[in-house]
A and B are shown apart, each in its own frame.
Chain A
Amino acid sequence: MKRTSIVRRPLAVLALLVVAAMALALVACGGEGDEGDGATTGGDTPKQGGSLNLAYLTEPSSLDPAIAYNVIDWQIEYEVFDSFLRYAPKPGVEGTTLIPALAAEVPSVENGGISEDGLVYTFHLKEGIKFQPPVDREVTAADFKYSFERMMGEPRAPGTSFYMGVVGAEEFMAGEADEITGYKVVDDYTVEITLEAPDLSFLHALTMEFCSVIPEEWVEKWGKEINRHPLGTGRYVFDHWTPGQEIVLTKNPNYWEEGKPYLDELRFVLSFNPSTALLKLQQAEVDILGDGLPPSDIARLQNDPEWKDYVHSQPLIAISYLFLNDAMPPFDNPKVREAIAWAVDRDNLVKLQGGQAQALYQFYPPGMPGHVEGKEYYGYDPEQAKQLLAEAGYPDGFKTMLYTDNVDPNPKLMQSVQADLKVIGIEAELKTMGNNAYYNQQSTPETLTMGSFGWWMDFPDPSDWILPLFSKASAVPGGMNSSFWWSMELEDAYAAAQNMTDPEARIEAFSAMQDIIAADTAYAPLYSLIQTTMCSQNVGGFYLHPVYQFNPSNYWRL
């Protein structure tokens, strides 16, 4: 979804810096804590009624599903909107499974929802689903087509690239066609989507918030203001938004799932930094820390008998790499890149983040299909790194630059990398810059030699790793392949995997692509992230979700 080190709402970064310092000033840290397991708390019997308060630092920039793309935007949209499918309401890997939402079933080759050649996707809609009040009318296939074409035609839509494989999308985007011919309304309850080429990740792409169904008359009514007046078919209805203070959602009376949701109201309370939010949670004014626990409080609370059961962790499908620019000597030499991958002490990087990360020695993070448990292409071995550097023709090392943005904790982590590189003879001068500038320069060819790089999944499918980070298509100005490395072997392997219609074989093929990447050390993988947050003692059924992070429509008030 987003590069982890470069968030679109960088205020969070400032606040985290502030908060870390504040927390240090106030609180004495405890000892080592257990890592959470994503298990649920609060008993097994859901209760109806009540409300929960979720605290966030930032406020959404938009709640228009065609445009919104920040974490907080989507957190609210998950509750207001729906699409064909959604992710199973389960913690861990189970939560990455697609289940039907407004579609009657998840299309597959077996149930005829996906054609044998993998090109045609057919969605049968549930009947009798109504939009939220005051629209209150039934949702039909035409609403899906309208919503999709509206999004593709919106000049500021950030997600159109996910759907360029739909037949007719290019012509529509270029203004040469009035509709996307590959997106067909067969009848009121059937949508048929034809792709140019098979792509099993398309179901995930369609499940992103960009494809939420929204009624045309509502969009017409609000015009430009639609970004402050979301209305869909989801579990909660948007009630009001007081700028900088709160966004309130209330239970959708038209919601189709029997007995759900449990809560009458969700309140997103805004502008609270995690340290202040934690104090409010401990005073029962807040129920969920949307931005997580301040790092300096984690160990203390994990060991606090009163609160330790309310601290929850889960691995995030998000990574940090060191990009190594293949177009700039000496990083065009694979041996140099490999040497660097062996030189970095990842355990120290984990330690510097208070354990909120895990060392990564392959390219997919834990949780991403394709990740192989225990697979390590590299390790921490300065001697081997020196050897590789000598083989590359640099027995005495060399001088270079190491770049990062100014977002905590990247500068201190890169200082650690800088020290590791010095051990093998590489004198890297560290340069930090503002995140927008870094973002821009990192995606400009032959500009930055090496530096920190973060990526957070859009959806749990490895194509979301290979295409943006390792492909030729992305090794262009403005692209996200910051190493500018690509290989025909990987391009072919990717194309072959995308043509597969057997999900298991496809994931195996994606898993094998790591060998091609590792053989050339396109990037030096550093670590994957862990999310740790806390709920109040009033929340029932709390768990962290691998895609949604929070799933408040499945929580209840005790």
Chain B
Amino acid sequence: MGKYLVRRLLWVVVVLFFVSVITFLLAYAVPGDPAKSIAGVHATPEVLERIRDELGLNKPVYEQYWIYITNLLQGDMGFSYDTQRPVAQSIIERFPATVMIALFGILFELVIGIPVGMVSALKQYSFRDRLFTVLSLLGIAAPGFWLGMLFLYVFAYQLQIFPLGGYEGWAEPLYGVLPGLTLGVGGAAWYSRMLRSSMLDILNADYVRAARAKGLPERTVVWRHIMRNSWSPIITLLGLDFGWYLGGVLVIEVVFGVPGIGWQAWNAIQTQDMPMIMGTVLFAAVLVTVSNLVVDIAYTWLDPRVKYS
């Protein structure tokens, strides 16, 4: 296991290296001029030249990359071209809002998705199963911005149960509920479908029939023998989702006025703010790879048959 972990961690480094190279090259491949984006329409050629000099944009791409990566290895993510502030500081400022939404999102995915998936599988082809199937398809199909606005209108504007968008820090968790619910409904639909099909595969397995035959209560059969073996796809999804959400979900952030990482990344792309693009993409990449690693380790705990060597 120790060796496995070391190998996986090395792979994380390799993945991040390639992500950094590809992001850097892609950002350069986009036609456009960061200096012009910074200086605006009235900038004279002299001003543009001054800016390019100041930011090192006149150097060859490989040299710019080398400078970036060596600084990064020393913990320096650079300064945003747009705001002139340290990239790391901007990410840290916006991360808590993103984490809050991500946690609520995951919570709603599980709270809604798991019971729905279980009922659908255990009562296959019943009215409830069919109803949940339709609702799941709706949940999957509904665009986040539409659902979000609908929740805002109903729960915040009409019923006034939740705040009308915004973010006031972790001291005010109510602000995270509706964005989380919007994320969670879409995700829960996937979770329930995955759990349903995973459970259906197991429902008629020999060891389940054996468990029932030996007279175990149905609850024990379901939780100990069926569910335990159905978790894997859910855990996989959970890991991917968590990493993905922590990287910032722009549409949800825009609808609810949550100042998260998604804004930062989108704005950076639009203004060709290279250090911020690199910072946000690498940050998201770290989160996704690490959460995948955690998932893989979680498999061994959930399913003793899985062994890494």
Q: Name A's B-contacting residues (CB within 8 A).
A: 2-3, 8-11, 14-15, 18, 21-23, 25-26, 57-59, 61-62, 69, 155-162, 164, 173-174, 224, 227-228, 243-245, 269-273, 275-276, 279-280, 282-283, 285, 433-437, 439-441, 458, 468, 478, 480
Contact = CB atoms under 8 A, between A and B. Distances in A.
B157 interface: yes
A156 B38 contact: yes
B254 interface: yes
Interface stretch (B106-114, B264-272, B280-288): B264-272
22 contacts: A11-B254, A11-B267, A14-B254, A18-B254, A22-B148, A25-B146, A62-B83, A69-B40, A158-B43, A224-B84, A243-B90, A245-B166, A271-B263, A272-B166, A272-B257, A275-B149, A276-B149, A276-B152, A279-B152, A437-B31, A468-B41, A478-B36
B47 A158 contact: yes
Given A271-B259, A440-B36, A18 B251 contact: yes
Interface stretch (B2-10, B48-56, B62-70, B118-126): B48-56
A271 B257 contact: yes
B262 to A, nearest CB: 10
A461 to B, nearest CB: 14
A224 B83 CA distance: 10
A244 B96 CA distance: 12
B255 A276 contact: yes
A162 B219 CA distance: 78
Interface string B72-92: 000000000011110000100
Contacts of A3: 41
Contacts of B213: none
Nearest to B160: A283
Interface of B: 30-33, 36-48, 50-51, 53-54, 82-85, 90, 93-94, 97, 143, 145-146, 148-150, 152-153, 156-157, 160, 164-168, 250-251, 253-260, 263, 266-267, 270-272
Nearest to A7: B270
A228 to B, nearest CB: 8
A459 to B, nearest CB: 12
Nearest to A27: B153
A155 B54 contact: yes
A172 to B, nearest CB: 12
B164 A280 contact: yes
Nearest to A275: B149
Contacts of B253: 271
Q: Which 9 A-B pairs have the closest CB atoms?
A: A244-B259, A436-B32, A22-B149, A158-B40, A10-B270, A437-B31, A155-B50, A272-B257, A271-B257
A224 B80 CA distance: 12
Contacts of A270: 257, 259
A245 B38 CA distance: 23
A15 B254 contact: yes
- Chain B residues touching A, majority SS: helix
A458 B259 CA distance: 30
B145 A244 contact: no
A480 B42 CA distance: 8
A227 B84 contact: yes
Contacts of B149: 22-23, 25-26, 275-276
A197 to B, nearest CB: 17
A21 B41 CA distance: 31
Contact of B47 (A58, A59, A157, A245): A157
A441 B157 contact: no
A18 B31 contact: no
Contacts of B150: 25-26
B97 A244 contact: yes
A467 to B, nearest CB: 10
Nearest to A170: B46
A441 B31 contact: yes
B156 A279 contact: yes
A375 B263 CA distance: 44
B259 A158 contact: no
Contacts of B160: 283
A2 B42 CA distance: 9
A162 B50 CA distance: 17
B39 A158 contact: yes
B146 A160 contact: no
A320 to B, nearest CB: 15
Given A21-B146, A480-B41, A243 B259 contact: yes
Contacts of B85: 228
A15 B148 CA distance: 13
B57 to A, nearest CB: 12
A61 B279 CA distance: 17
Considering residues B84, B152, B256, which has the most beta carbons from chain A within 10 angstroms of its beta carbon?
B84
B37 A436 contact: yes
B218 to A, nearest CB: 43
A2 B40 contact: yes
A229 B158 CA distance: 39
Contacts of B50: 155-156
